[in-house]
A and B are shown apart, each in its own frame.
Chain A
Amino acid sequence: MVGLSRVDSHLPSNPQALSELPITDPAPADDAEPKPRRARKPVGWSMIFIAVLVAVCAARVWRRDGIDGVLNILTHDLWLFGEIVPRVLAGCLLGGFIAEILPHDKVSRSLGPKSGLKGLLIGTAFGAILPGGPFTAYPVAAALLTVGADFGATIAMVVSWTLIGYGRAVAWELPILGTEFTLWRIVISLPIPVLAGWLGRVVFVRMYPKGEPSE
């Protein structure tokens, strides 16, 4: 009897909760689901190292060229920064879209740790055709990592972008180093993205046998 009355006392609240569930729950459920969220990077040792390096270099410029030298470089770089900022925004948006649009399971199947040679080849092809510059390549690579690509496939993509991506080759290398050298260099570089991705996987499995440690 006691048990029943307890059930009874719970009953009135239950239908209400149930009726509310479908309306209010989607957002919390979305968060509860193991959905990859990009970990916001804390200010790590890398950034501190860079800041120190920059400070040391700026001090050397100041001692060598005086305050004018320091200001000259500063204005030039601020100008450059102004040019780059909108592109960085575009790159971040691309990364955001890719992280949302690409289905997690599909990406981890085709670019994940078990994707084999095919995953490395897909990463390589993707890096080679990716348009834009570093402001697209790195946010997109970071997004791929978030949605399930492993280090190997992402390494293949990044390395392929720097080594056989057409953007840099056409815009800079051809005019400066000439067609013959550029083509020769690219042919020699062709296997490197896949090899680097493969080496990355081999080392990764040895370093983190239980998967990547969470930060």
Chain B
Amino acid sequence: MTASALIIDITLWGSVAILGLMAWRRGRVVLVSSVREGSIDFINIVPRIALGVIGSGYIAAVIPPDVITGWLGPDSGWFGVLMAVIAGAATPGGPVVGFSIGAVALKVGGGPPQVIAYVVAWALFAFQRMILWEIPFMPARFVWFRAAVSLPFPFLAAAIAMVIGKP
């Protein structure tokens, strides 16, 4: 287990312990009912997460990263931004993949506004994160609503990047 994973687990279970203590101080009933709610959620969510985690490997295997990098090519201007946004949404895999593709794109001559659009689009609505995490936990209506509302913002980020330039 790496150090960062250890830190994540410590903060995570630390927060659980602190909130659990707060619930317990409100009375045993509060503690018991919140633990029960949390456990029922967990039982409901595990099959969905299982499908997402196990499935995401196959999805990632079908969409190789170099295809995505190709979409992020040297196309400049708004067409390049549009391609970057599509690439961001289509990027499978965890944070390493998304940021690495961005880094590669910068190296092979992708414009900074396009790479910004890519990273922001990927952060906002990478379909795999939505499938794997957001849909299992949140009401589906909220997820689609949030994704739709987020659509303009990679373009806005690219526009800001074009205006203020790269330092």
Interface residues of A (CB under 8 A from B): 38-41, 44-47, 50-51, 53-54, 57-58, 60-61, 65, 69-70, 73-74, 76-78, 80-81, 83-101, 131-136, 138-139, 141-142, 145, 151, 154-155, 158-159, 162-163, 167-168, 171-173, 176-178, 180-181, 184-185, 188-189, 192, 195-196, 199-200, 203-204, 212, 215
Contacts and interface: CB of A to CB of B under 8 A. Distances in A.
14 contacts: A41-B139, A47-B48, A60-B58, A60-B62, A77-B56, A93-B16, A96-B34, A96-B41, A98-B19, A145-B138, A155-B149, A168-B123, A177-B106, A200-B145
B120 A163 contact: yes
B90 interface: no
Contact of A92 (B15, B41, B167): B41
Interface residues of B, number: 84
B95 A172 contact: yes
A178 B112 CA distance: 13
A101 B53 contact: no
Interface of B: 4-5, 8-9, 11-13, 15-16, 19-20, 22-23, 26, 30, 33-42, 44-46, 48-59, 61-62, 95-96, 99-100, 102-103, 106, 112, 115-116, 119-120, 123-124, 129, 131-143, 145-146, 148-150, 152-153, 156-157, 160-161, 164, 166-167
A73 B57 contact: yes
A93 B20 contact: yes
Contacts of B8: 87, 131-133, 167
B51 to A, nearest CB: 6
**Most chain A CB within a 10 A radius of its CB, from B42, B44, B57, B119:** B57
Nearest to B145: A151
**Most chain A CB within a 10 A radius of its CB, from B22, B115, B140, B164:** B140
B58 to A, nearest CB: 4
Contact of A171 (B4, B39, B142): B4
A92 B39 contact: yes
Nearest to A83: B5
A57 B140 CA distance: 23
B84 to A, nearest CB: 13
A200 B96 contact: no
B138 A192 contact: no
For the complex of A and B, 4 pairs with smallest distance between CB atoms:
A96-B38, A54-B55, A138-B137, A100-B34
Contacts of A39: 139
Given A89-B42, A177-B106, A47 B19 contact: no
Contacts of A90: 12-13, 15-16
Contacts of A88: 42, 45-46, 49
Given A50-B52, A188-B157, A192-B157, A97 B11 contact: no
A73 B53 CA distance: 11
A176 B105 CA distance: 12
B62 A95 contact: no
